[in-house]
Amino acid sequence: MADIVFRNVTKRYGNTLAVDDASFTVNDNEFFCFFGPPLSGKSTILRLVLGLEVPDEGEILIGGKPVNSVSPAERNVAMVFQNLALFPHMSSRDNVRFPLVERKVADAEIEKRLADVAQKLHIGHILHKPPAQLSGGERQRVAIARALVRDPAAYLMDDPISALDARLREETRVELKRIQRELGKTLIYVTHDQEEAMSVADRMAILENGRIRQIGAPAEIYDRPASAYVARMLGSPMMNILPSVRGANGIEAAEGTIRIADARAPAEAIEIGLRPEDLKVRPWTDSGTAEARPARVFEVEPLGGYTVVTIEAGQARLRALLRGQPDVRPDAMVAISCDPGRVHYFGQDGGAL
Amino acid sequence: MSAVTATISEDKMGAARAKPAQRDEGERLGFRLTLPAQILVLFISAFPLLMQLYISVTDWSPLSGVGWWNAWEMWNSFANYTDLAADTRFWSALQRTAIVMLVCVPAEFLLGLALATLFADDFPGKRIFYSILLMPMMVVPAVAGYMFFMLFQSGGPVNDILSRIIGGPVTIAWLSDPNLALIAVMIADIWQWTPLMFLILLAGLVGVPEDQIKAATLLGANAWQRFTTIVLPKMKTIIIIALAIRVIENFKIFDTLYIMTGGGPGVATETISVYIYKVTTQDLIWGYVAAIALAILIVLSIVAVYAMKRMAKTREVPA
Amino acid sequence: MSAIHLKNLTKTFGDFAALKTMDLEIADGEFMALLGPSGCGKSTTMNMIAGMEEPSSGKILFGERDMAGVPMGRRGVGFVFQNYAIFTHMTVRQNLAYGPRMRGAAKVEIDRRVGAIAEMLQLSPLLDRKADRLSVNILQRVAIGRSAIMEPAIFLLDEPLSNVDAAFRAVMRTELKQLQRQFRQTMVYVTHDQLEAMTMADRIAVMDHGVLQQVGTPLEVYNNPANVFVARFIGAPGMNLLKGRPAESDRGLVIDLGPLGVTPPLPDELASSVRAVRNDVLYGFRPEQVALADRGLSMPATFVERIGARTIVHLGEGESAVKAVFENDVGLSVGQTAVVAPPASSVRVFDAATGLAVRAG
């Protein structure tokens, strides 16, 4: 089977820990995504999988076999580069055949694999053209074909679409997901775009400074982040995280502009997290002291299908994501509330409670 | 705030990543594979040096009757070096060489730089002008020497043109006047080697990022300000290379000069190379010559090392 | 006066028409986004405003002043390049101080201004670092600060956030808006990201292949796109457009979408305009405005993207592929059939031949 396992892998560059005690399993046929800010270790992990780096500590296993000392050429993983790195002087057919020709595979076998991969990626009709004559999407598929023609255990992509226009990125990530599903191969994907990661990944790992902070399906991580850090990583606009105190009937935050009536809130919670789409915003009406205090709308950003409302709640600025184009004006006074079931609580160390 | 601190720590990681993580085996294999070439290069450069060092502490000459490997028999315990220190002809030759260098190299640099800035933009006939400009460099130095020899004759073209400009007869004895001969020689050198400076500096000029120049213009910098604050600083490395090359080569000036003046009149244009040549071929005291050559080598090496240090400072350590 | 007026502006490079007859007025203090895909002419337009390119024909006016022949150093515009064009051989401080220095400001004055800008852009701890080894995010702020310190009346930004990583982009957007609000400069912002334009701009000029498609506030271009291009380009995802033929029914004018069936009747004001169209039309509705219904378009789900706060469902295939945005509890999986209907008021119709919107009334 073609699963990839890291056990307590650590990699240092000089005095810096690029990867710190990373352990995870990428299952066979999974679209696995590594996500994190720049220099959080994502690309280093990719290089460790490929064999371009050797771990200082820990083990790496591919298909059940330890590969720490196996050279990149002998590991069965292939890489699709961001700039695709197709040879411009060859036809696409020769590009795809290249890895096998290099390894002196028999011609008959090459043709068979070529036909197989071309059919899967729907590129049979363009193979005779050189890469320069192909569209961006076609070139990408040729690059993927070249990686797959070796029938690797897994293929890797490092931020392949960040250089494209926004529109093209949205379409290409769907393409990539479709291709991976059809091919049924393990794909390890690195990106710093959270929407992209959530869209394509079966499971993903969130990284911070070389440490893996959480692994799981995107929906799972989004709904139940393990820490304030992870909670901030996914979701746009970012989750609102504020210091909270225990009030009379539950939790209070932002100088009383937010009151959550939840007697079961954990006692050790020092911060609450509210996703912008979970914030309910109503025009303020004075209906007694039980309600939260009013807050002032600072800014309204109409996005068409949604509206982002920035609200000054006490010292903090909260962002609420409202559906459609509600009539909210800057400087209006509003009441903020949130369903208690949607509130996230964080403790002293930033961990979720 | 967190955005700033996040990015500051990014930079630390970047700096720590300066050493590319290579496998040790790769490095060792590389060393082993290049070892034959390394030995060869070492042999080619070190052997003559050692031989020179060896001979320079003897009184050996080809007419002494012994093979050079037995030169130790003629050991003179550094007498060559003490003689050298007292040799006034040597020191004046050195002084003359320094004068030539201090005039020629800056002149070539400034002229080359001016021409390079001209060539930075397009103008009609650029290609043709470019080829013409490079021609002096392609002339065989000895041929150039002969050419200038003819040009600077008392009845020659230079005087002829000057007399037309001034309106009266000009009969400057360029090559037979001890004061003017050196100037003639310097003119010849500047003519021949400005194109090299031009080429190197043009390459450096073209390498200055255009968008930074645009940004400077948008911020209100005029042409001169752009030149001094953006263009020149960015050309630092190339300028150092160009100057180092020319200083070292100019110091050794010989062919053109020797054909023009033979080092004369008298010793008026006797530069260090000419002096060495004369001592070698006329006086035949090779041991002494080896000492001179070694002394020069040391001086020029200091120049080269200094240049490389300056270059290393300007070049960023890749993060 | 820092209003900008582009009159009949064109630009050709040899055979290639980068910009075709652009007419645009940008008000004093307005934040205008030039939005479009690569090659639409937005950067060319901006370069001409800055003075880096000469128009092939047409005029550029700052207020009443014709800018023809005014060199780029004298136009008083701030410019942030896509690749920052930071002076890598200088420190951050020297970069920021460059403009005032070139104008001959006194050292005390320069230091004060540099300090203020650095404070505002959170660059104070980095002032004495050499500019060549800083991260992209910092470089962007230095680029902005270097131009902002000159307090230009007009600020031009050429895709300044395209090299910045996604997470930081949101932070930078807020900072840029704050900057603009604080100084009230006229800002022209080139981008290919419609979200950026929608978030930041007072008005958006949508461009494609050198032609201005529509100018309007974010909500205007979202709610009432002038043509098919704008309809598809604005919105995440863009508007769904299905080809069909107007047909009369007993409930009013409907659009016959062939195999997908027939749409609900169009509102009367829209119907009368649509009747005047002789050709096929495109029936348009936004993915964010559809709801699951009992009656409507019935299509199988082919792909489901759960992205944080919302779920994008891809329905149908090929010509009749459609996207819909739902809340996360929609419970649709691949293969299931969904029946979706857009609210009547959000339906937009376009002439299939010309691509232009068919407007009501």
The sign of the torsion formed by the CA atoms of B309, B313, B315, B316 equals positive
Evaluated on CA atoms B299, B305, B308, B314, the torsion sign reads negative
Confidence of residue C86 (pLDDT cuts 50, 70, 90): very high
Check whether residue C205 and residue C257 sit in a common domain. no
Give the rounded distance of the alpha carbon of A244 from its chain centre: 29
Do the domains at A4-226 and A240-346 have one common CATH topology? Answer: no
- Give the chain A residue whose CA is nearest to the CA of B24: A54
B118: amino acid identity, one letter: L
Cβ-based neighbours of C183, under 8 Å, separated by 6 or more: C148, C151
Inter-chain residue contact A304 with C222, CB threshold 8 Å: yes
CA of C136: which chain B residue's CA is closest?
B7
Q: Looking at the complex, does the CB of residue C97 fall below 8 Å from at least one CB of chain B?
A: no
Beta bridge partner(s), residue A187: A31, A155
Q: In chain C, which residue's Cα lies nearest the Cα of B225?
A: C102
Tell me which chains share at least 3 CB pairs under 8 Å with chain C. A, B
If asked whether residues C33 and C99 sit together in one domain, one would say yes
Structure tokens at A351: 């961990």
Alpha-carbon distance of A50 to B313, in angstroms, equals 36
Q: Are residues C244 and C262 in the same domain?
A: yes
| Residue ranges of C 36-75 with Cβ closer than 8 A to chain A | 37-38
CA distance A298 to A320: 11
Same domain, yes or no: C215 and C266: no
Q: Are residues C337 and C225 in the same domain?
A: no
CB-based contact C135:B10 (threshold 8 Å): yes
* CATH number of the domain where residue C348 is located: 2.40.50.140
Which residue of chain B is at minimal alpha-carbon distance from C95? B216
Could you tell me if residue B8 is inside a domain?
A: no
Collect all residues of chain B within an 8 Å Cβ-Cβ radius of residue C130.
316
CATH code for the domain of C219: 3.40.50.300
For tokens 């209906």, the residue is: A287
Question: What is residue A1's predicted lDDT score, i.e. its pLDDT?
Answer: 60
Question: Tokens 């079966």 label which residue?
Answer: A202
pLDDT over 90 (residue C109): yes
- More confident: A88 or B25: A88
Chain A residues in contact with B16 by the CB 8 A cut-off are: 13-16
CA atoms within 13 A on the CB side of B72: 3
C83 in contact with B, Cβ within 8 Å? yes
Note whether B221 contacts C135, CB cutoff 8 Å: no
Please choose, from the candidates A143, A18, A149, the residue with its C-alpha nearest in 3D space to the C-alpha of residue A87.
A143
- Is 0.90 surpassed by the pTM of this model? no
Which residue has 């069965």 as its token pair? A76
Domains identified in chain C, total number:
2
Q: Are residues B66 and B126 in the same domain?
A: no
Same domain for B316 and B245, yes or no, is: no
Minimal-distance CA residue of chain C relative to A175 = C303
- Please report, for the domain that includes residue B259, its CATH number: 1.10.3720.10
What does the pLDDT average to over A252-279?
84
Q: Enumerate the domain spans of chain A.
A: 4-226, 240-346
Residue A346, H or E segment: strand A344-346
**A347: phi then psi, degrees, rounded to nearest 5:** -95, -165
Structure tokens at A138: 């076609």
CA distances B21 to A52, A54, A74, C257, Å, are: 9, 9, 20, 61
Q: Do C149 and C47 sit in the same domain of this protein?
A: yes
Residues B278 and B290 in one domain: no
ipTM: 0.86
Same domain, B277 and B307: no
Pick from A121-135, C8-22, C28-42, C55-69: least confident: A121-135
Strand C77-80 and strand C252-256: pairing? unpaired
Is the distance from CB of C134 to CB of B11 less than 8 angstroms?
Answer: yes
Is residue B204 in a domain? yes
Question: Are B228 and B264 found together in one domain?
Answer: yes
Does residue C203 register a pLDDT over 60?
Answer: yes
* Lowest mean pLDDT segment, chosen from A64-68, A187-191, A252-256, C249-253: A252-256
C188 and C253 belong to one structural domain: no
To the nearest whole percent, how much of chain C has pLDDT over 90? 49
Q: Which chain A residues touch B10 with a CB distance below 8 Å?
A: 38-39
SS3 state of residue C92: helix
- Buried b / exposed e over A127-161, threshold 16 CB at 10 Å, is beebbeebeeebbbbbbbbbbbbbebbbbbbbbbb
Name chain A contacts of C306, Cβ cutoff 8 Å.
198-199, 218-219
Domain match, C129 and C31 both: yes
Residues of B in contact with A15 (CB under 8 A): 16
Same domain, C85 and C198: yes
pLDDT at A161 over 90: no
B27 in a domain, yes or no? yes
Q: C305: which chain A residues are within 8 Å (Cβ-Cβ)?
A: 174, 198-199
DSSP designation for C306: E
Q: Which residue did the predictor score with more confidence, C136 or A7?
A: A7
Instruction: Tell me whether C188 touches chain B (CB under 8 Å).
Output: no
- Give me chain A's average pLDDT, please: 87
Q: Is residue B172 in a domain? A: no
Say if residue C112's pLDDT is above 90: yes
Q: Domain end: C178, C202, C232, which one?
A: C232
Domain that holds residue B221: 104-139+178-282
Contact criterion met (CB < 8 Å) for C87 and B8: no
C63, C14, C350, C15: which is closest to C214 by C-alpha? C350
Last residue of a domain, one of C189, C217, C232: C232
What average pLDDT does the segment C151-170 reach?
85
DSSP B69-99: GGGGGGB-TTHHHHHHHH-HHHHHHHHHHHH
Q: Are strands C31-35 and C186-191 parallel, antiparallel or unpaired?
A: parallel
Mean pLDDT of chain C: 89
Mutate to test the interface with B, among C134, C154, C172 (most CBs of B within 10 A): C134
Instruction: Please tell me the distance in Å from B2's CA to the nearest CA on chain C.
Output: 11
The answer to whether residues C192 and C260 belong to one domain is: no
Same domain, C244 and C340: yes
What pLDDT is stored for residue A107 in this prediction?
Answer: 87
Domain check: are B289 and B195 in the same one? no
Question: Does A38 reach chain C within 8 Å, measured CB to CB?
Answer: yes
CB B218 within 8 A of CB C77: yes
Which chain B residue's Cα is nearest to C77?
A: B218
Among B10, B21, B23, the residue with its CB nearest the CB of A13 is B21
Number of domains in chain B: 2
Inter-chain CB proximity C170 and A238 less than 8 Å: yes
Band of residue A125 on the pLDDT scale cut at 50, 70, 90: confident
Cα–Cα dist B127/C256, whole Å: 67
The CATH code that applies to domain A4-226 is: 3.40.50.300
What are the pLDDT digits (tens) for A289-307? 556 788 899 989 989 889 9
Which parts of chain B have pLDDT scores under 50?
1-22, 316-319
CB–CB of A13/B14 below 8 Å?
no
Residues ≥6 apart with Cβ < 8 Å to C130: B316, C88, C89, C90, C91
B200 and B290, same domain (yes or no): no
Are B274 and B206 in a shared domain? Answer: yes
Q: A240-346, what's its fold?
A: OB fold (Dihydrolipoamide Acetyltransferase, E2P) (2.40.50)
C106-124 average pLDDT score: 91
Identify the H or E element spanning B210.
helix B210-218
Domain with C315, as residue range(s), is: 236-358
Are residues B130 and B47 both part of a single domain?
no
Please report whether residue B124 resides in a domain: yes
Chosen domain end from C215, C232, C249: C232
B157, B162, B165, B170 alpha-carbon torsion, rounded to 10°: -110
Contact B220 C102 (CB under 8 A): yes
Are C151 and C256 in a shared domain? no
